Chain A
Amino acid sequence: MTAEKMGKISTRLRATFALVSVAFVVVLAVSPVRDYFQSWKRYEKDYVSYAQARPESKRLLADFHPGIDQIWLPEMRVVDRCTTCHQGIAQASLRDPSVPQPFRAHPDVPHDVKKWGCVICHRGQGPATEMSEAHETTLAWEQPLLPIKFIQASCGVCHRANLPQTPKLDRGRELLSQLNCIGCHHLQDIERPAMLGPDLSNVGNKLNRRWIYKWLKEPHTVVDASGNTVVDGYETEAEPRMPQFRLTDQEIRALSAYLTTLKARPTEPYKFDPRVVAFLQKSSDLVDQGEMRFRQMFCTTCHSLLVTRGEETKLIGGDIGPELTKVGSKVNPDWLIAWLRNPQSDLPHALMPRYGWSDEDLYKVTQYINTKLTDPDLLSNVPSLEEPTRDETQLGQRLFLEKGCASCHAIQGVGPQKDFGPDLASLGSKNVSQLEFGNSNTPRNLIAYIQAKITDPLSVNPAARMPQYRLTPTNLDAITTALLSMTGSPANSSLARLIVPRSQGEFRPAGAFGELYDRYKCAVCHRFNGDGGTLAPDLSFEGSRAQRQWMVDFMKNPQTLRPTLIFRMPQFNMTDQEAAIIADYLGMVMQSPSVKLSAVDQKQFTPQMVEMGKQLFEVKYQCNNCHTIGSSGGYVGPSLNDAGNWLNAAWIEAWLKNPQALVPGTIEPRRSFTDQEVHALTAYVLALKQKAPPQVKTRAATKTRGGAQ
């Protein structure tokens, strides 16, 4: 190789080397240049100039730290860099909506934003430093920001009990258990009750085949032409517990045939006292008397009826029991009488109390139900069905299991099958790639998937067995929120420590009171030591509040203290002895530790104090704006007409000092009364006694009673 040749090559090599070097430098420069232009740096610069323009700039700038800001929660495996751009997140002065994002402060929530970071509640990719990567779905991160509409789901991840701040989540959880979702799905923290749908062992004695056929086709009794539960032009909020399954005519025929063969316990027709029947049949307004009795007993506290007043048609009544508008066309009259006398003999877990019926009342009310609560056209579009054939019955028996009926309904002691549908206990943390969308047009995200699955299950899975639910948009969002909160069991023990469990008190009284407690189903409406329903007052401290004689009278003839209340305590027709047992138990056991009944001596109250209390009540504090005395006054609080016979003096004093300490969340505002004012007001309230005590219609224990003992 000659020197010239070598020189030539070296020139070319040099040129190549130079170009390669330039390319190398360019490639190396990419990273720092991109880093220099990172959007979070721009946001930090913008924040500094925004803070400088604010009047409180000194404080804002003192709290500002350049660079990537990171909150690290190692036990939760969370790295959160959101505060790099959201610099003003904890600055109280930047809470105003006029502050531009991303600098606006977070609203004042019970958790410290600087300590917990953002992604625990809002989801998204915490370590990301690009806005779109942090907020949205990327190839590597499938948990985008949770829309604020559903944000209460994040509260429910740790707070398994209801919170006052999360009404939407609580409503969703309530709906999940009301709609019996737990029948087929395993759900986080929702207990499977003793009974979902009724046990069908004896349904053949209760219903006829045509009614079962109609019910399986459209499980509503109050419906419009298209099968929707429409009252007064609006679809009611009340979704029936029994969902509408997609069944063919043949399947419905088979199921109804099978169910009518289930006659476990033959119903003996009840023999009324012939003298009572003969006497009642003479009265021309027997049905009206029955209706009157139905109303007086306050059946509508648990059951609703379609009522037309003027031009308006409404479902009025409670939702603890089924709607009864057309029940007379549904059930066998002999079964109805047996049921009313003792519901638990047919369904051991029924919530209905066992009333003490007299033959007279039972006859009147059943006549009313069988005459007035009917609809001759109810079964008009049901074909006439022949005697069930053997093939139909066998097919029905198979379908009962295949269609999932057995998930909610037991037959002949065979318990319901569990986990018929998929486990939803960790649905809220599912990635989009784990969901089956099929060929649907549903947007590919978890929320759209949940909502499509509930409202139109076939759209995402043509082979779905799940029935279709018609929910109002509000209820659908509530259920979605509750499902999103179910993110599965905590991954490790330090996470498990953060869970605030649902605490459920347990109250199981024994003895004579225990029997009555079970018979009259007190806990369906009342709460005792954290256990029971919320429809009626909490009775945990009733013994401190009410006087014994008042309780006895109230139990025998419940009269509401709140004139505007729709839901009232039913009249159970208790005997004197039963009322005494209950009053004694409540008086002895259900007492508040902070009310000492002996601490207030009623003898100290002088007429002067009563007069002063009257002045305070009527003029200074204007209590009569909320409490009725005589026939005037407001109806926010209870009527105080008979308060002297109702309340204990020590309770009144404790209540006046701090109502919320006795009943958390009660409406009555806490005032700053002086001790003298408290004594005077107590003296006045105790002096309020009705001149003539109300005539209590007692029913002697010896009288003929319909109720089985």
Chain B
Amino acid sequence: MKWRRSILLLIIPAIAILLSCQHKPAVAPATPLLNAYDVEQSSNDARRLISLSYRQAQGKRIFNNNCVWCHAAETPAGPSNRSNLTPTPPLINDGQTFNSLSDEFMQNTITLGGSAMGKSAMMPAWGQTLTHDEIRAVIDYARAVAEPPYKTPARTASQYPEK
């Protein structure tokens, strides 16, 4: 049967074209830590790695430049200034203290200083030194490293202002 053969000759390339279009490229194995902008060891458990996003990593940088002197147990220059201060400032990862505070409250305390928000006057106002976004990034960093871990409160619609 010649005509059947010719039809087969047409259909086979058609199927071949269809199949070849389905070719999938090689898939690289996904590693979660490869897709973290930066990684930090948990202070409580050295084996636990906290992955930081871009903004949290920027917060970490600003923290290590401006805040580390009083809000960390060790500083780049050696001992921390915390022991000189009463009341002792909370550590950056102090979830007990920070988890109950809202982002807005923390933003205001850093921007306006401790005395403006009814906290210790030892906390200076950073509003003229750091931008709003930089302060926001530091808060994000504090949330990322908090012990016990920080849970984002359920958001309400009103928190997304219409432009």
**Is B148 part of the binding interface, using a Cβ–Cβ cutoff of 8 Å?**
no
Q: A107-B54, A108-B55, A566-B78 are in contact. Are A667 and B66 (CB under 8 A)?
A: yes
Q: Is A115 an interface residue (CB 8 A)?
A: no
With both beta carbons as reference points, the residue of chain A lying nearest to B84 in the complex is identified as: A634
Assess whether A138 is interfacial by the CB under 8 Å rule.
Answer: yes
> CA A420 – CA B157 in complex, angstroms?
63
Residue A58 lies at the interface, judged by CB distance under 8 Å to chain B: yes
Q: Mark B124-137, 1 if CB is under 8 A from A, else 0.
A: 11101100010000
A26, B162: Cβ atoms closer than 8 Å: no
- A156-203 contacts to B, CB under 8 A, are 164-165, 167-168
Point out the residues of chain B lying under 8 angstroms from A16, CB to CB. 3, 6-7
Q: Answer whether residue B117 sits at the interface, using C-beta atoms and an 8 A cutoff.
A: no
Contacts of A502 in B (CB 8 A): none
**One of B28, B53, B124, B160 near A671 (C-beta < 8 A):** B124
B48 at the interface (CB under 8 A from A): no
A565 in the interface (beta carbon within 8 A): yes
Q: Do A634 and B85 have beta carbons less than 8 Å apart?
A: yes
Interface positions, chain A 410-456, Cβ under 8 Å from B, are 445
CB distance from B17 to the nearest CB of A (A): 7
Closest to A93 in B: B160
Contact B61 A165 (CB under 8 A): yes
18 A–B contacts, CB within 8 A, in A order: A12-B3, A20-B6, A20-B10, A26-B14, A55-B160, A107-B55, A132-B24, A133-B25, A136-B27, A144-B28, A149-B37, A164-B61, A565-B77, A621-B121, A622-B122, A669-B124, A669-B126, A669-B129
Whether A107 contacts B53 in the complex (CB less than 8 A), given A669-B126, A669-B128, comes out as yes
Query: Contacts of A168 on B, CB cut-off 8 Å?
Result: 38
Which one of A15, A56, A137 contacts B26 once the chains associate, using CB atoms below 8 Å? A137
B46 at the binding interface (Cβ < 8 Å): no
Instruction: Determine whether A469 belongs to the interface, using a CB cutoff of 8 Å to chain B.
Output: no
Q: Which residues does chain A contribute within 8 Å of B155, judged by CB atoms?
A: 96
Q: Name the one of A139, A151, A565, A672 contacting B37, with C-beta atoms under 8 angstroms.
A: A151
B112–chain A nearest beta-carbon distance, Å: 11
B6 to A, closest residue via Cβ: A16
What is the predominant secondary structure among interface residues of chain A facing chain B?
Answer: loop
Q: Which 5 A-B residue pairs are closest in the complex by CB-CB distance? A: A55-B157, A147-B34, A138-B25, A107-B54, A670-B128
List residues of chain B with CB under 8 Å of any chain A CB.
3, 6-7, 10-11, 14, 17-18, 21, 24-28, 31, 33-39, 53-55, 58, 61, 65-66, 69-70, 77-79, 81, 84-85, 121-122, 124-126, 128-129, 133, 152, 155, 157, 160, 162-163
- List A contacts of B126 (CB < 8 A): 669
Q: Which residue of B lies closest to A150 (CB)?
A: B34
What CA separation (Å) do A672 and B36 show in the bound complex? 38
Q: Is the CB of B7 within 8 A of A23?
A: yes
- A residues 561-582 near B (Cβ < 8 Å) are 562, 564-566
A148 in contact with B25 given A59-B163, A564-B78, A626-B81 (CB within 8 Å): no
Q: How distant is B71 from chain A, measured CB to nearest CB, in Å?
A: 11
- A residues less than 8 Å from B125 (CB atoms): 669, 671-672
- New contact pairs (17) apart from A620-B121, A622-B121, CB-CB < 8 Å: A16-B6, A16-B7, A23-B11, A23-B14, A30-B18, A56-B160, A56-B162, A59-B162, A107-B54, A108-B55, A132-B27, A148-B37, A566-B78, A625-B85, A626-B69, A626-B81, A669-B126
Number of contact residues on A: which range applies? 35 or more
A27 touches B78 (CB 8 A): no
Q: Is A625 a contact partner of B17 (Cβ separation < 8 A)?
A: no
Q: CA–CA, A168 to B58, complex, Å?
A: 12
Which of A109, A133, A667 has the most chain B CB within a 10 Å cutoff? A667
B126 CB to closest chain A CB (Å) equals 5
Q: Is the CB of A139 within 8 A of B85?
A: no
The one of B24, B34, B53, B78 in contact with A97, judged by C-beta atoms closer than 8 angstroms, is B53
A16→B3 CA distance, assembly (Å)? 6
Smallest CB–CB gap between A469 and chain B, Å? 21
A631 to chain B, nearest CB (A): 12
Question: Taking the complex as formed, is A382 at the interface, i.e. its CB lies under 8 A from any CB of chain B?
Answer: no
**With A and B bound together, what is the CA distance between A136 and B24 in angstroms?**
10
Residue interface bits A2-26, CB-to-B below 8 A is 1, else 0: 0000000000100110011001101
Question: Are A564 and B35 closer than 8 Å at their CB atoms?
Answer: no
Q: Which residues of B contact A72 (CB under 8 A)?
A: none
CB of A633 closer than 8 Å to a CB of B: yes
Beta-carbon contact of A667 and B61 below 8 Å: no
A77 contacts which chain B residues (CB < 8 A)? none
- Report the minimum CB–CB distance from B131 to chain A (whole Å): 11
A636 and B81 contact, Cβ closer than 8 Å, known pairs A23-B11, A667-B69: yes
Among A137, A148, A564, point to the contact of B79 (Cβ < 8 A).
A564
Please, which residues of chain A bring their CB within 8 A of the CB of B17? 27, 30
A139 CB contact (under 8 Å) in B14, B25, B81: B25
A605 at the interface (CB under 8 A from B): no
- Residues B21 and A34 in contact, CB atoms below 8 Å apart: yes
| Closest beta carbon of chain B to A164's beta carbon, Å | 7
Q: Given the complex of chains A and B, what is the CA–CA distance between A167 and B128 in angstroms?
A: 24
User: Which residues on the A side are within 8 Å of B152 (C-beta)?
Assistant: 98
Q: Is the CB of B69 within 8 A of A636?
A: yes
Q: Contact at B122–A20, with CB atoms within 8 Å?
A: no
Question: With a CB–CB cut-off of 8 A, which chain A residues contact B55?
Answer: 107-108
Let me know if A23 and B10 touch, CB within 8 A. Answer: yes
Among A107, A149, A562, the residue within 8 A (CB) of B77 is A562
CA distance in complex: A671, B33 (Å) = 40
CB of A132, distance to nearest CB on chain B (Å): 5
Closest to B62 in A: A164
1/0 per position for A291-310, CB-CB distance to B under 8 A? 00000000000000000000
> What residue of chain A has the Cβ atom nearest to residue B128's Cβ?
A670
Which chain B residue has the least Cβ–Cβ distance from A632? B84
When chains A and B are docked, how far (Å) is the Cα of A577 from the Cα of B25? 75
- Give bound CA distance, A99 to B17, whole Å: 38
